[in-house]
């Protein structure tokens, strides 16, 4: 997929009083998406279920963050982190994500994730932090300009 500079400009605000919920199989294929996830990502439930969760992966995210997520999940630990996600219309939304295993009779069967909004200052901080990681790792970066510096 090709991206242009004029895209990604529209941010969607994650609602304060709702949770973005999804579940995946052990390979990261979406098995469940709640209505808030559909609304915020701009996809219908049918477009999400059966697709890899990287459908909402934003090109500003360093790949090392997801490597850490998967390593953590493989160790059967809970992962938390700040994620910038890509909407279907190429807008974006920032979340605090908690990802962990779903167990049935003590056996790991799926992964689940809950996401909530983050503060404006954290968006600025993480945009810079992720830009830095991407730069250090030789990944492509885009220059993001915010009005307010922190
Ligand atoms: C339960 C669960 C939820 C996930 N949620 C997201 C998410 O919201 N955004 C995202 O980019 N990746 C999410 N991932 C990670 C993706 O599976 C994927 O590793 C990531 O998008 C990077 O894509 P890539 O591995 O194809 O490079 C999630 C994984 C799991 C298991």
Please report, for the domain that includes residue 129, its CATH number: 3.30.450.20
**Calculated CA dihedral for residues 126, 130, 131, 136, nearest 10 degrees:** 140
Averaged pLDDT, 58-79: 97
Total-model pTM: 0.90
Largest CA distance in the chain: 51
Q: CA-to-CA distance for 145 and 29, rounded, in angstroms?
A: 34
Are 42 and 56 within 8 A, CB to CB?
no
Q: Which domain holds residue 107?
A: 20-136
Identify whether 96 is part of a domain: yes
Helices (H), the chain: 35-41, 45-48, 63-74, 120-136
Beta-bridged to residue 29, according to DSSP, are 52
Residue 108 within any structural domain of the chain: yes
Element spanning 85, H or E: strand 79-86
Task: Ligand 1 pocket test: pick from 20, 31, 66 the residue with the most ligand atoms within 8 Å of its Cβ.
Answer: 66
Q: Confidence band (pLDDT; 50, 70, 90) for 141?
A: confident
* Ligand 1 touching residue 87 (CB < 6 A): no
Could you give the percent of the chain with pLDDT greater than 90?
A: 81
Total structural domains within the chain: 1
Q: Is residue 52 part of a domain?
A: yes
Is residue 107 assigned to a domain?
A: yes
Most confident of 9-13, 114-118, 145-149: 114-118
pLDDT digits (tens, 9 = 90+) for 28-68: 999 999 999 999 999 999 999 999 999 999 999 999 999 99
pLDDT for residue 5 is more than 60 = no
Distance 29 CA to ligand 1 centre (A): 9
Would the pLDDT of 143 be above 70?
no
Give 32's strand partners.
23
Average pLDDT taken over every residue of the chain: 92
Residues 5-21: what's their mean pLDDT? 81
Q: Which tens digits make up the pLDDT trace of 122-131?
A: 999 999 999 9
Cα–Cα distance between 81 and 62 in angstroms, integer?
12
Decide if 104 is inside a domain.
yes
Residues whose CB falls within 8 Å of the CB of residue 20, separated by 6 or more in sequence, listed in order: 14, 34, 36, 37, 40, 95, 114, 115, 116
Q: Is 42 in the pocket of ligand 1 (CB under 6 A)?
A: no
Q: Which residue has the tokens 């003590």?
A: 106
Span 68-73, mean pLDDT? 98
Burial class (CB in 10 A: 0-12, 13-18, 19+), 95: buried
Instruction: Please indicate whether residue 28, judged by its CB atom, sits closer than 6 Å to ligand 1.
Output: yes
Candidate from 14-23, 40-49, 54-63, 140-149 with smallest mean pLDDT: 140-149
Domain-embedded: residue 143: no
């Amino acid at each position: 997929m090709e991206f242009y500079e004029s895209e990604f400009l529209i941010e969607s605000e994650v609602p304060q009083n709702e949770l973005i919920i999804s579940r995946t199989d052990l390979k990261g294929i979406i098995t469940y998406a709640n209505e808030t996830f559909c609304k915020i990502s701009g996809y219908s439930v049918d477009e999400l279920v059966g697709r890899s969760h990287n459908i909402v992966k934003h090109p500003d995210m360093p790949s090392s963050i997801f490597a850490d997520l998967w390593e953590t999940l493989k160790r059967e630990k809970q992962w938390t982190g700040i994620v910038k996600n890509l909407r279907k219309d190429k807008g974006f939304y920032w979340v605090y994500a908690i990802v962990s295993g779903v167990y049935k009779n003590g056996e790991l069967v799926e992964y689940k994730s809950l996401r909530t909004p983050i503060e404006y200052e954290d968006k600025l901080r993480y945009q810079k932090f992720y830009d830095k990681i991407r730069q250090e790792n030789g990944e492509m970066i885009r220059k993001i300009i915010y009005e307010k510096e922190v």
